[in-house]
Amino acid sequence: MFKKPMVVKHKRINPVNPDCETIILFSLFLCGIILGIFIIKNCDDDVKNALSTLLSNYITAKNECGFISCFSGVLVFLVIFVVISFLFGMCAVGTPFVWAVPVIFGVICSGYVSLMLINYGLKGLFYCILVDLLPYAITTATLVKCCCESTKLSVNLFCCIAGDNALRGRNLFKEYAINYLILCIPVIIGALISTFCFKIFQGLFIFA
């Protein structure tokens, strides 16, 4: 009696529901916010002093630079996270790393605000609200969308490697690059808003 040959069928791996994925990524960002506060609150005094010195130097340099230099510095900081998400999205196993990006961004944002509050009190908090709140909110929403795009491409690449021929005819990288170029627009707007707000309210905040 002959045995029937075994046929292995490749099952399509479906990505997470977009709405669910967005909620998860925003939740990861909030986890980063909480983690950043915890780190600043519990870090060693030497580390806290070193971070405070870096913050003071950053504020001093920002006060002394012109509009273009200030805008460029803010834009580079915000775009770094978009670029990291973009690069990890081009990896078939990059999804876990993509989902770590909003956590890291949340840690840095909350760490920055926590240090401003510790070093400069309510003045530092009001500075963050007037200058940084709206740009960071725009960047966070954009970054979450970027991570969704990266997760989608990463899962599709994994499916192609696993033998899903349905995706082989599509130019996935072209679609991916176009979507990211569009998503860079809100980040640029966020950097412009941050710079305008800083220049407008600069005289109200003298940090010694």
173, pLDDT greater than 90: no
pLDDT tens-digit series, residues 43-56: 888 888 898 888 88
> pTM for the whole thing?
0.85
User: What backbone phi and psi angles, to 5 degrees, belong to 207?
Assistant: -95, 120
Q: Are 120 and 67 in contact (CB under 8 A)?
A: no
> How does residue 164 score in pLDDT terms, banded at 50, 70 and 90?
low
Helices 133-162, 172-201: crossing angle, 10 deg rounding: 170
CA 87 to chain centre: 13
Cα–Cα distance for residue pair 163/37, rounded to 1 Å: 44
> Does residue 100 carry a pLDDT above 80?
yes
In 159-178, which positions are buried (b, 16+ CB within 10 angstroms) versus exposed (e)?
Answer: bbeeeeeeeeeeebeeebee
Token duo for residue 77? 């900081």
CA angle at 21 for the pair 34 and 36, rounded to the nearest 5°: 15
